[in-house]
Amino acid sequence: MPFRFLRPPRVRRHARDPDADRSLQHSLRDAMAYAVMQGGAETYLSAFSLFCRATAAQVALLSTLPPLLGSLAQLLGAWLARHARRRKPVILGGVLFQALTFIPILAVPWWFPDQAVPALLVLYACYFAGGGLAAPPWTSLMGDLVPEQRRGRFFALRTRLTSIMAFTALVSSGLILHYFDHRAATTIGFVLIFCIACGARLVSAWHLGRMHESPVSHAPTPVDVFSGHSLRVLRRTGALWFSLYVVLMQGAVAISGPFFAVYMLRDLEFTYLQFMVNTGTMVLTQFVALNYWGRISDAFGNKLILKVCGLGVPVIPLLWLVSDNHWYLQAVQCVSGIFWAGFTLSTGNLLYELVPPVRRAGYTAFHNIMVAFSVFSGALCSSLFMDVGAPRSTLLGDPSHASVLLNLFMLSAAARLLIDLFLLKRVRDLRRPRRPLSARQFLIRVTGFDALMGFMYAAVPFLKQSKTK
């Protein structure tokens, strides 16, 4: 069988039906190939934009506007998933279109050397639109194939495999770029990683084409979300407050998010190897931390994780103001990975819990579109902030180093904190935790403060007895 290197270990059957089980095996291989594309190429799109002489504001535009257009393509994908007789042609069309966009992307330095930014904007938009078009029918297809009682185990396995492959691809692409950059052939390095990404997505399409398509089970389109009854239900469950919090928080994050790559590669003059190590550290930390956050979620609920990690998210950009030392920033990325792993897990689980199943597909598409619009708005505001001649700030550990991007890091931290203070308390968790625990009690346990207090409590009587002897 072709593509044996993408064959995951077959430990157990994922479904009793042979066709469904075989389809889910292909789904795992599709996920692994997709992760190669995402980790090996999509992670380096900002670096490629800088290589094509894009400014910091243009990098922000290239990082946020194409995903917004891609999320809008989900509306078309949802409509096609509802009205088309078969979903696989829609999925394969979007996936193949996404794969083929890498061909003109890698040719931009030769075809459009003086108009690289407009060309990349169009091509990045096509790339994300292809993925957005395929997402709703793929979600519908997977919902029919994965048995409900095995859904958690299957997607947990799928997430582990994709994380491993994405991290491996990220490291490999970083090493490729580092090798060719040292030989003054950086363009060849980008061409190579984009060719690998294109091939990986074509492998993904092959496995998607081998999946069995069960009868279509139609789900409400995003328009159904705005009916009066739907809004009353969503308001009663707390889904609207939750979405408002996530949407605004992602916008606050986008004030600084697109500029970390610019800060490392342009201002700190990181090599591609250092950039890969810094980015890979966060990805690896997230992968490790997800297992622990998952156990905490099962025991204490998702609201606790969101409180702890939501209050930790504003701290992350402030840590970048302390020093530009490479090893210090590695430690910062470890802290960032821990908090973002918990934030991502808790928000994903809460979205699933707060939205009734019959409205989940439509509301999720609406939620994702609003998040993408907020991210674009946050990045646009920061770009305008730089265009008006914002002052430069200096690092606490090195007053000689100044960058306008440090102001954006502080502004993003302040916006994140304000959103936490006003909206985090309104987020609800409908699922009652097995072991209720407050965020304060959790932090005391994690830091070991309760163990220290217990030791002191036990030591005081002992010391009193020693004095009386």
Residue 229's pLDDT band (boundaries 50, 70, 90)?
A: low
User: Is the pLDDT at 274 greater than 90, yes or no?
Assistant: yes
Residue 51's pLDDT band (boundaries 50, 70, 90)?
A: very high
The answer on 290 and 191 residing in a single domain is no
pLDDT at 443: 57
Q: Over range 203-228, report the average pLDDT.
A: 71
Residue 281's pLDDT band (boundaries 50, 70, 90)?
A: very high
The answer on 437 and 300 residing in a single domain is yes
The answer on 324 and 190 residing in a single domain is no
Q: Over range 100-124, report the average pLDDT.
A: 95
Q: Over range 310-319, report the average pLDDT.
A: 95
pLDDT at 446: 57
CATH number of the domain that 388 lies in?
A: 1.20.1250.20
The answer on 249 and 123 residing in a single domain is no
pLDDT > 70: percent of the chain:
78
The answer on 407 and 359 residing in a single domain is yes
Enclosing domain of residue 347: 223-450
The answer on 228 and 211 residing in a single domain is no
3 inside domain: no
pLDDT at 154: 80
User: Is the pLDDT at 82 greater than 90, yes or no?
Assistant: no
Tell me the whole-structure pTM to 2 decimals.
0.82
Most confident of 55-64, 364-373, 411-420: 411-420
User: Is the pLDDT at 111 greater than 90, yes or no?
Assistant: yes
Question: For the chain, what is the HEC assignment?
Answer: CCCHHHCCCCCCCCCCCHHHHHHHHHHHHHHHHHHHHHHHCHHHHHHHHHHCCCCHHHHHHHHHHHHHHHHHHHHHHHHHHHHCCCCHHHHHHHHHHHHHCHHHHHHHHHHCCCCHHHHHHHHHHHHHHHHHHHHHHHHHHHHHHCCHHHHHHHHHHHHHHHHHHHHHHHHHHHHHHHHHHCCCCHHHHHHHHHHHHHHHHHHHHHHHHCCCCCCCCCCCCHHHHHCHHHHHHHHHHCHHHHHHHHHHHHHHHHCCHHHHHHHHHHHCCCCHHHHHHHHHHHHHHHHHHHHHHHHHHHHHCHHHHHHHHHHHCCHHHHHCCCCCCHHHHHHHHHHHHHHHHHHHHHHHHHHHHHCCHHHHHHHHHHHHHHHHHHHHHHHHHHHHHHHCCCCCEECCCCCCCEECHHHHHHHHHHHHHHHHHHHHHHCCCCCCCCCCCCHHHHHHHHHCHHHHHHHHHHHHHHHHHHHHC
User: Is the pLDDT at 244 greater than 50, yes or no?
Assistant: yes
The answer on 179 and 38 residing in a single domain is yes
The answer on 254 and 400 residing in a single domain is yes
Better-scored residue on pLDDT, 133 or 143? 133
**pLDDT (tens digit per residue) in 11-36:** 456 666 777 889 889 999 999 999 99
The answer on 196 and 310 residing in a single domain is no
Domain total in the chain = 2
User: Is the pLDDT at 1 greater than 90, yes or no?
Assistant: no
The answer on 311 and 164 residing in a single domain is no
pLDDT at 302: 86
